[in-house]
Amino acid sequence: MNKEIFKSDRYFIVFDYLVSHGQLLIRSDKRKGGKENIDIIFFDTSFVQLFTMLFGITIRRVDKSKVANYISLNKYLSEEENNLFEIKSGEEKYYIAASFVRVFENQLEFNETSLGYENNGRENEIAGSR
């Protein structure tokens, strides 16, 4: 618990969401700070408390009691395979409840997403909660 899953000082934005399997994409675009995109994908995303523009990011899996007390959220987090992730950016901390997170590097263009069914942009996994 509280183990750092991923850290980057690049600029990230909430980029896309796909209802199937609750996939949430937070991307650092390759045009801003690197040769490749960094795509952070949360799966089975059920709760999001997040500023959509993040200057630097650190992701940790944290104790499930660390967030505001919502009945539906607590119910979700009571299931063993669901987790609470802390998103730290600067001095601020945000929270996402999801089952797991995976981080990829890819060369997708701005109008291309790594969410979906074809595993586009998911060939090179660089970090994850599993």
Does 116 help bind other proteins (rule: CB under 8 A)? yes
Give which of 44, 42, 14, 18 is closest to 28, Cα–Cα: 14
Does 56 help bind other proteins (rule: CB under 8 A)? no
Give which of 123, 130, 21 is closest to 83, Cα–Cα: 130
Does 71 help bind other proteins (rule: CB under 8 A)? no
Cα 77-79-75 angle, rounded to 5 deg:
50
CB 97 within 8 A of CB 79: no
Residue 20 vs 69, nearer CB to other proteins = 20
Residue 54 vs 108, nearer CB to other proteins = 108
Tell me phi and psi for residue 55, to 5 degrees.
-95, 90
Stretch in the footprint of other proteins (CB under 8 A) among 8-16, 48-56, 62-70, 77-85: 77-85
- Give the interface with other proteins as residue ranges (CB under 8 A): 20-22, 43-44, 76, 79, 81-82, 99-100, 116-119, 130
